[in-house]
Amino acid sequence: MTHSITRRKFIKTGISLSAASFIPGTKKIIPPEKDRSRPVVISSRNGLRATEKAMKMISEGSDSLDAVITGVNIIEDDPEDISVGYGGLPNEDGVVELDSSVMHGPTHNAGAVAGLRNIKNPSKVAKLVMERTAHALLVGEGALRFAKSHGFKEENLLTDRSRKIWLKRKEMLSDSDFWLPSASEKIDPDLRAALDSHGTINCCALDAKGDLAGVTTTSGFFFKIPGRVGDSPIIGAGLYVDNDIGAAGSTGLGEANILTCGSNAVVEFMRKGHSPEEACIKTLVRISEKAKLWPRYLDENGHPAFDLNFYAINKKGEYGAASLWKGRRFAVHNGKENILRECAFLYKKERPVSAFSSGLYV
Ligand code: ASP
- Each domain of the chain, given as residue ranges in start order, spans 31-357
Q: Can you give the pLDDT at residue 181?
A: 85
Alpha helices (runs of H) in 153-306, residue ranges in sequence order:
160-172, 189-195, 254-258, 262-271, 276-291
Q: Does the C-beta of 231 come closer than 6 Å to ligand 1?
A: yes
The angle, 0 to 180 degrees and rounded to 10, between the axes of the packed helices 122-132 and 64-77 is 150
Residue 309 CB less than 6 A away from ligand 1? no
| Integer Cα distance of 234 and 111 in angstroms | 9
Q: Is 100 in the pocket of ligand 1 (CB under 6 A)?
A: no
Catalytic: which of 51, 70, 200, 283?
200
8 A C-beta contact, residue 61 and residue 39: no
Query: pLDDT means per 10 residues in the chain (362 residues)?
Result: 36 29 45 70 96 98 97 96 93 97 98 98 98 98 98 97 92 89 72 71 96 97 95 98 98 96 98 97 96 90 91 97 94 96 88 45 30
In the reported structure, the alpha carbon of residue 308 is separated from the centroid of ligand 1 by a whole-number distance in angstroms of 9
200 lines ligand 1 (CB under 6 A): yes
User: Any idea what the Cα angle at residue 254 is, between residues 303 and 131, rounded to 5°?
Assistant: 150
**Ligand 1 and 310: CB distance under 6 A:** no
Cβ-contact 126, 233 below 8 angstroms: yes
Active site residue 200: yes
Amino acid at 287: I
**Ligand 1, atom 4: nearest CA belongs to which residue?**
254
pTM passes above 0.95: no
Backbone angles phi, psi at 297, to 5 degrees: -105, 15
Asked if residues 255 and 224 have their Cβ atoms less than 8 Å apart, the reply is: no
Q: What contacts 237, CB < 8 A, 6 or more positions away?
A: 231, 250, 254, 257, 258, 260, 261, 262, 263, 264
Which atom of ligand 1 is found nearest the CA of 220?
9
Most informative mutation of 72, 83, 253, 324 for ligand 1 (most atoms within 8 A of CB): 253
H-assigned helices in 157-246: 160-172, 189-195
Taking the alpha carbons at both ends of the chain, their separation in whole angstroms is 20
The amino acid at 239: L
For domain 31-357, give the fold: Glutamine Phosphoribosylpyrophosphate, subunit 1, domain 1 (3.60.20)
pLDDT of res. 47: 96
Whether the CB-CB separation of 309 and 323 falls below 8 Å is answered with: yes
Specify the residue with its C-alpha closest to ligand 1, atom 9: 220
- Compute the residue count for the chain: 362
